Structure 1
Amino acid sequence: MKNHLLGCDWGTSSFRLRLIDSTDLRLISEVTSQEGVASTFSDWKANGESQGVSREHFFRQQLKRQVDWLASKTAIDLTGTPIVISGMASSSIGMEEVPYATLPFPTDGSLASTRQLSAQADFPHDLTLISGVRTQDDVMRGEETQLIGLLDLLDTLQMSVDESILLFPGTHSKHIYIQQQQVTDFRTFMTGELFNLMAYHSILKDSVEPTDLHTFSDSDLTAFTSGINDADSSILNALFRVRTNQLFNKLSKKQNALYLSGLLIGDELKTLIKQPKWQLILCSGNNLYELYKLAMEVLQLSDRTTTISANLIDKATMAGQLKIAQNQHVLLPK
C-alpha cells in the first residue's frame, strides 16, 4: 500500500478534496463542489448554531460527506487518512480561526502557522489547518501553500527564484517577493473581482459581453492591447471609456470586455515597470495566462519574465500541502 494524504483546498466559494499518493505526488482522485467556506458558514449560522452544534463540528460533518463520497468513488478505505486543509477553513468564517504567519516567511514552509485537530469517533481523520500570511496591511490564505509547493517543485528542476516576484493572477492577484529563500513582501490586486463588479454590477454591464473569453481573434486582442495602453491614464477616467466605446460603436461587446480586462490587468502590471531589477515569474494555469503574457509583452516586461507550466501550477497546492504535512510530522498511513 502506498502512503495516502487527503489534501483539501477549501476556498471562499469552492471546495476541492484530493486523494494524493505522497510517494510520487500522484493525484489518485478528487471531488469538487461549490460548497465553499462562506456558504458552509452561512449554513451553520442558519441551521447549526441555533441547534447548539459547534462550528468546528458542522464543518467536520460537511468535510466527512465529501471524504465518504471520495472513498466510495475510489473504493478505497480512507479511515485514518490524515487531512491537510489550506485556504479559508482557517479564517474567522472557517472551521477554526488560526493566526496568520508573519514576514519574513521561509519558502520551505517551516514556519507555516498551523493548527492540529485530533480525530474523533465520528470523524476518524487527524486534521491540519494551514493559516495564511500577513504583512502590516495585506493578507493571503491559500496562496502561501501553493507557493511553498511550487518552489519545492521548481527546486527539483534546479530553477532559482531568488530576487524574484511571483505573479499569481486571479480574483485577487498576488505579487509575492522572494529574497534569500524567504517571502519578504507581497501585494494584492483586486483585478479579477473589479472586473466582475464592473462587468456584472455597474453601468458598464450593458456595454460588455464577459462570457466566452477563452478564444480570441486578432481584433479581440487589439482591443485588449488598447486597454493596456490606456491604463497609463487615470483608471477612473479610463473605465468610463468602456461605456463610450459601446455608445460610439467603437468595439463589439466582447471586444469591450477585453478592453476592460486590458485596463485592469495593465493597471496591475504597470507597477512592475518601476522595479526593473526583479526577475518576474508568471504562475497562471488558466485562461488568464494568454492575457497576462500578452500584457507583459506590451509593457516590455517579457525579457525578464519566466512562465511556469500549467501542469506545475496544478500540482503546486498538493506539493505544498504535502511539504507542510512533512514539516508538521504528520504520519501518513501505509
Structure 2
Amino acid sequence: MKTTVIGVDCPMNLPEHFISCDWGTSNFRLRVVETHSLEVLAEHKTDRGIKAHYEKYQCQQEVSQFQFFAHYLKSQRQQLPEGHRQHRIVVAGMASSNIGLWELPYATLPFSQDGKQLVRKQVAKDDLDLLLISGVRSTNGIMRGEEVQAVGLEEPLRPYSEGILLLPGTHSKHITFANQEFRSFRTYMTGELFDIISKQSILSRSVEPASWSDDRAQAFQEGLELGFSGQLSASLFTIRANHIISKHNPKDSYYQLSGMLIGDELAYLKDKSETIILAAPDPVFSLYQQALKSIIEPQQLVLLGGKVLEKALLIGQKKILALHGN
C-alpha cells in the first residue's frame, strides 16, 4: 500500500514520477522520486558542483553555457534506471544562478510557506524537460536551494506562530518566519570558513580531522564558549599557540576550532525569545544541537534531524511541481 506524505496533497495532474535534482555549489545529486509517496527509487551523486563545473565551462569556447551544463546533466541522468530517465527534472540549488544551467531572477521577501512566490520556469530543450526553481534575495543577502527546503518544512513549522529556522551548511542560513511566512534571513559562512582555516591557514598544522567521540566533547565545548563570548578573531591563534607550547592534541583542536566558529554563528540567539528550529544532517546536527542546548531553553528548541531535512527538499520540489502543473 502506498502512503501519502502528511501535509502534501497530490493533485491528479501530477506525473507519477519526477527526477529531483539538487545541484549545489559543491555537489550534484539526482533522485528518481515516486510523486505520491515521495519514495526515492534510485539515487546518483557526484562531487561536480556548480562552482567546479562552471570553471570547466570557462576553459572552453565550443558550446554555450546551457549546452555545457545540459550535457553533464544528461550524462549523469544515464546513471539512473533506464525506465526513469525521461521524467521531468525538478531542479533546485545553484543551477538557476548566473554560473549555472539557466539563470532565473531571485524571488523577494517575504515569501509564504506554500512556495507560491518562488520564481519557476519550465525549460524543454536539448532532450531535457526541466522545471527550474529560483532563489530568494533580501536587501543584502541571497540564497538558492534553502528556500525549497524551507517550503518543504511547512508542516513541522505550522505549530509555531514565529521562530527562526536554522539550516547549517557551507553557508548556514537563519530564516525568520511568522504567521506562515518567511520574513528575513541571515547567511553565515561557517562551513566555508572552517574548511579554509583548517586546510589552508597557519592553523592547518595544528588541527587534524577526527571522528566524533566523547573525548572531543570538552574541546568542542571550550571552543563554543570562546565563540559565544564574541572573541573569535582574538581566540583563533590560540589553537596554534597551544599546539606549540602545550602540545595540545590536533584532533581535539579540530573540534575546538569547530566550536569557535559555530559558537560565533549562534551567539546572538542567546537574546532571542522565539522558537529556534534546527534542521540538519549528522554530524552537523549533533554539533549544533550541543551548541544550542548550551544557550537555549529546552522548551524553546525544536530539533529536526537529517531525515526530515532530506524529505523536506523533495516535499518542496513536489509543491513547486504541483503549483506549476503539467
Question: What does 1:178-197 align with in structure 2 at a 5 Å threshold?
Answer: 178-197=177-196
Q: Which amino acid aligns with 1:22?
A: T
Asked if 1:61 corresponds to 2:61, the answer is: no
| Equivalent residue number for residue 288 of structure 1 | 284
Q: Helix, strand or coil: the match of 1:69?
A: coil
CA deviation after TM superposition for structure 1 residue 316, in Å: 1.2
Query: Which AA in structure 2 matches 1:198?
Result: I
Offset, 1:267: 0.8
Aligned partners of 1:132 and 1:185: how far apart in 2? 13
8 Å contact from structure 2 (residues 279, 308) kept in 1: no
Give the TM-score of the pair, scaled to structure 2.
0.91
The answer for unaligned runs of 5 or more in structure 2 is 1-14
Match of 1:227 in 2: 223
Once the 2 structures are TM-superposed, how far is the Cα of residue 38 of structure 1 from its aligned partner? 1.7
Q: Is the 8 A contact 2:230 2:264 kept in 1?
A: no
- Which residue pairs with 2:106 in the alignment? 100
Structure 2 residue aligned with 1:239:
236
User: Equivalents in 2 of 1:43, 1:195: separation in Å?
Assistant: 26
How many angstroms does 1:299 deviate by? 2.0
Shift in Å, 1:283: 0.4
| Offset of residue 42 of structure 1 | 2.1
Q: CA deviation at 1:97?
A: 1.2
Structure 2 residue 124 is matched with structure 1 residue 137: no
1:164 and 2:158 equivalent? no
What is residue 3 of structure 2 aligned with on the other side? none
Q: Where does 1:107-118 land on structure 2 (aligned, <5 Å)? A: 107-118=113-124
- The superposition leaves residues 114-136 of structure 1 with CA deviations (integer Å, 9 ceiling, x where unpaired) of 2221244xx1x321111110110
Does structure 2 conserve the Cα–Cα contact (< 8 Å) formed by 1:98 and 1:113? Answer: yes
Instruction: Report deviation, 1:301.
Output: 4.2
Instruction: Identify which range, 246-255 or 166-175, moves more after superposition.
Output: 246-255
Structure 1: gaps spanning 5 or more residues: none
1:17 to 30, 36, 42: 30
Task: Please name the residue that 1:217 is paired with.
Answer: 214
User: After superposition, what is the alpha-carbon deviation per residue over 1:237-256, rounded to whole angstroms, capped at 9, x for unaligned?
Assistant: 01111112212226311111
How many angstroms does 1:303 deviate by? 3.5
The AA in structure 2 aligned to 1:104 is P
Could you tell me how far apart the structure 2 residues matched to 1:188 and 1:259 are?
22
How much does 1:77 deviate? 4.6
Rounded Cα–Cα distance in structure 2 between residues aligned with 1:234 and 1:280: 24
Conserved? CA contact 2:223–2:263, under 8 Å = yes
Runs of 4+ in 1 over 3 A off after TM superposition: 300-303
Report the TM-score when normalising by structure 1: 0.89
The whole-number CA distance in structure 1 between the counterparts of 2:150 and 2:102 is: 23
- Pick aligned residue for 1:321 from 314, 317, 323: 317
Q: Residues 28 and 77 from structure 1, CA distance in 2 versus in 1: closer, same or farther, beyond 3 angstroms?
A: closer
Structure 2 counterpart of 1:298, from 287, 294, 300: 294
Q: CA deviation at 1:297?
A: 1.9
Deviation at 1:177, TM superposition (A): 0.5
- Tell me, in whole angstroms, the C-alpha distance in 2 between the residues paired with 1:45 and 1:230: 42
